[in-house]
Structure 1
């Protein structure tokens, strides 16, 4: 399975979900491809937000090698699933969908069976607790998805 997490700038939510799922997949010895992008390109080439890095590191995940990139047309054929952080990004994914797209798109949390919240809150303009909440949601997401197996 090939999963692409999509948020707005690819510096907070999607890189955390990528890192957490990747580490949990390695522990479970599952060979799935995981990556992340943003619908916006203004952070392209930047590392993850320092607050995301701090929250992740406290929980044993490294975002040090992350470099933000923007959603590309090739992502729609290179991945099976485009998992959006929120409805706004899901709408953007669908608006940009090329005619030959093969990837399916949906909200990330419901994809793993999480019904509340349905969207990953954007911590960018908030306090550190918001970044910690993203880690909590990412760990719950990974645990549920791996337990459930391939959709």
Structure 2
């Protein structure tokens, strides 16, 4: 069966924030909405090609593992204009990446582009901070923000697909 809806998480290099979001959202979908697993395609990409072909940052992978999320098997890739044809949600981690994505978005698909934290109540318009040059606390903060936004995203997708809430 072909996926009915696609979600693409985007950060700069696709090795920290966006693969974390991909792993967290995949885990949340499997745990809380198994009826949607076969209906939702989840992927991540970077707005730059710095790390194409690389696995997620080991610190991101370890922080995610400690919370029960799996980032193993992900490979960094660059976001392309065709992603706007193939995905329904293009979710930027920060304003710089939003602007980068806006530049490559076909005009008729710009409405698919959103800030990821717009799905986290109380964090609308905020950024998921880049933890790359910091310590382990930054990766924990990323996970906190990504978990909050993932729940809101799941609610939005359930509404969009008319799925039961699982409550």
Over residues 85-118 of structure 1, what are the superposed CA-to-partner deviations in whole Å (9 max), with x where a residue is unaligned? Answer: 0010000111112356476101001134442671
5 Å matches for 1:61-140?
61-99=69-107, 101=109, 104-115=112-123, 118-140=126-148
Q: Is contact 2:102–2:110 with CA below 8 Å preserved after alignment?
A: no
5+ residue gaps, structure 1: none
Q: How many positions carry a matched residue from both structures? A: 151
- RMSD of equivalent CA atoms: 1.8
| Structure-2-length-normalised TM-score | 0.83
CA 126–35 in structure 1, closer or farther in 2 if over 3 Å, else same: same
Unaligned runs of 5+ in 2: 161-167
Structure 1: which 4+ aligned runs deviate by more than 6 Å? none
| Max Rg structure | 2
Paired with 2:82 and 2:106, the residues of 1 have a C-alpha distance of 9
Q: TM-score, normalised by structure 1?
A: 0.91
Q: Aligned residue for 2:13?
A: 9
Deviation at 1:62, TM superposition (A): 1.3
- Cα deviation, 1:6-36, whole Å, max 9, x if unaligned, reads 1000000000001110111112112321110
Of Structure 1 and Structure 2, the greater helix share is in 2
State how far apart, in whole Å, the 2-side matches of 1:21 and 1:84 are.
14
SS at match of 2:13: coil
* Paired residue secondary structure (2:63): helix
